[in-house]
Structure 1
Amino acid sequence: MKLNNQKRWGKVWSAAAGLIIYNAFTAVSYSADNWQFPNGAVFKESGKIVWEGEIINRKEVPYYSGFASDVIHGKVISTVSNSYWGVVDGYHGVVLEPGIILTFSGKSNASTRGYNVLVEYQYKGEPKASSTQNDVYINKDSWIYKYEAILDRNNTQDRISGDNTYRATNLQVALYISDSVKPNTYSYSGDVNLEVGNMRVYLNNHLTFKVAPPIQCTINTPPKIDFGKVNIWDWKGNTSGTPGGNRKDVLGVVDGNFTINCTGDNGAHTPAKLTLKGTIQTYTNDLKMTMDATGDLAPATVRASIKSIFAPCNNGGTQFGPGTKTPPGNEVDLGELTVGPHQVPYRFSLCALGQGFKSGAASATATVTIDWE
C-alpha cells in the first residue's frame, strides 16, 4: 500500500513537506498623506489582513482645461510585474501573486460641472462605481490599469474648463495573506497607486516583507507501506481453512512512526490534528485495494490505527473516511505540538476481505494531512 502525501498550505500543510503554525502578529499603521508600507515587516500570521494603511481623507480643487475623460475617473494602477485585479479568499483588489492581495476600502469621487465618477471600494466585494449624470464603464487589467471606472465613451471627447474636485474619503489599503502562502521573503518592485481624478494616493515603490511563522515543523511519512509477499491461500491466521480466509483475518502488519520535528521560537505551540483519507471498501475503516494488473477488487483491505494502537484488523482505530462520528472517525487529535521532535506511532494491517482467492500484486493509496488552529 502506498501512502501519498497531500500538499496543502494554510490550516493544512503538507504531510511530507512540513507543518506550519501561525501565532498572532499585530500590524502597524503609519500616518502619512500616502500609504507607507512597513518594508521589512515580519508577518507571523495568515488567513487574514496582516496590515492596513492609514485612513486617508483628502480634497483637491485644481483648475483644469481639457478632456473630461482624462480627469473624471477612479483608477487603481499597478506596475508590479504580473500583478492583476482579482480575488483571494473573498478579498478583491490587486493580486501580487497567488494568495497575496492588496485590497481597498473607502470612497473616491472626481467631479466637475456636469461630470462625476464615484467609486466605493470595499475589501470583500467589487468596487461600486456610479455617477449622478453620466454612464460609467468598468475596465480591468488594461495594461497598468488594474481597475478603471471611467466616463461613458460618448463623453470622452467632451472638453471642460474650470475647477475640478477630487475627494478621497476614508480611503484605505490593506494587505491580505492567504493560508496557502509559504513562509518566505516577498519583494515587489513597482508603483501601486489609487487615482481620484488627477489626485493620487501612492504605496511605497518597493514592497518587501517576510512571512515567518514562529514555529515550523517537518513530518516524515513513509513513501510506501509494504506488506511484502502474502500467501492468501495458506497462512497461520486463516480462520476458515479455505483460500481467501474470513473477513478481517490478519494477512500482514506494518508498524512504525510518523516523525514530526518542529523548530522556531521558544514556547511556540499549537493544537494539531491528523486526517487520514482514502477510498473505502464498504466500511469506513477499510481501505479499498485493487489488483495492479486488472484493476479488479483485491481479496484484502487495509486497516489503520494512528497514535492509539489497536490489534491488527480490529474494528477500532483510525478510519479512512469521516463516517458519522463527531469528531470524524478519520481524524486523530495530536495534542499540542511544540518546538522539538515528536513521534506519532502507526499500525497498518492487511486484512482478508473474505471473498475468495486472487493472485498478483495489489495496492491502495491514502492521504495524510495535518491541520491546526
Structure 2
Amino acid sequence: MENAEKTSYQKISPKKLHKRIGILTSGGDCAGLNAVIRAVTRCAINVYDWEVFGICKATLGLMSRPPQVMQLTVNQVDSILTMGGTILGTTNKGNPFAYPMANGEIIDRSEEIIEGYHLLGLDALIGVGGDGSLAILRKLAQQGGMNFVGIPKTIDNDVDLTERSIGFDTAVNIATEAIDRLQFTAASHSRVMIVEVMGRDAGHIALNAGIAGGAHIIMIPEIPYRLENICNYIKKRQEQGQDYSIVVVSEAVCTEAGETIARMQQFGQCLLGGIGQYIADRISKESGAETRVTVLGHTQRGGISSPLDRILASAFGVAAVDLIAHEKYDYMVTWQNRQVISVPILDAIARYRAVDPQDTLVKTARGLGICLGD
C-alpha cells in the first residue's frame, strides 16, 4: 500500500462507472479498520464494478482543496487484511461544526466537507466510526445531500444496537494477554496488580478481559463500588493463603467521591486515565498490600487484528456496499443474533451501549466469585 498515491479530484480518471463511492475512517484507530477498507474495495469492484476512493484523514481530507483521496484497487488492498491502524489515516479532534482554528477562532467548516464530497462526484460515502463520528457524519450527510452508510467501530463496544463493533475483540485479547502475564509476577511477589484498561464510559473491555484473564476483582463504571468491600475481599484471599490478587479497572471508574479522573487536551478533549493509580494507593493504604499498576492505554488499539475482528470487518464491509447497491442510505450495518442486519443510524446513536448490571457476563462474574466492588 506504500505505493498508493494520494490523488486530487482533478487527477481522478473521468471514467464513470455505475457508481463512485468513498470510504473514510473517523475517530480513534483500532484493529480491523484495514480489513473493512479491503472488504469494501473488493466487493465494490469485483461484484459491482464500481470505483472506490479512500478519503485521507477522515473529514480533513474532504476539507482540503483539492480533496485528499486515493483511488483504491483490489491489488492495493489485498495485503492489508491483518494490518493495524488505518491506511487512510483518521482524526478524532476538531468537530467540523465548531472547528478550532490556529488563531483561536471557532468556525463552522461543515460546508467545506460537503463541497468536497460533491467535488469528488461521489454517489455515496461509507463512514467507519464510533457513535460520535457517526453522529457528525450523519449530520453532514443530512445537511449536504450526501448518501451515507455507517459501519460501527470502537474498542469500547458502546455503539448501540450492535452486539459487537470492529476493534473490540482485539482489544479484549490484548488486555487478556496482559492479565495472563501479570498473574505470574503477582503470585511470585505476593502483590496486588491493578490493570487499567480503556473503554471510555463503558466497562465492556474490563468485564470481558477480566473474566477471560481470571481476574479476582473487576471494577466497571456501571456498578458502584465501596473500597472497603474490595479490601475485605483481598484480605479474605490472603487469609485463605492466596496472597496475591489481580484487579481490572475500567478507565471511567470514578473515585469514591464520584469524581472522574481525567485531563484536558488540545481541542478540548477530555482524556480519561489515572484511576488505576488511585485504586492502588487506596488499597495499599487500607489493606497494607503491596500494589503495582499497569496502564495498557493505546496498546489495546494497535497491532494485528484478531480473526474475529477480521471476519466482522469483512462482513460489515460487504454489507455496507450492498446497502449502497440497494440505495438504502442513512443506515448502519450491525451484528445481531449471529448475522449482519442494518438499522437507522439515528437509532444507533440515540444512546451509548453501557454494560447492563443484569448482563449475562455480570452474572457470570458473580457466579465465579469475582468481586465487583458492590
Find the structure with the greater CA-based Rg: 1
Give me the TM-score of the superposition, normalised by structure 1: 0.27
Greater percentage in strand: 1
Greater percentage in helix: 2
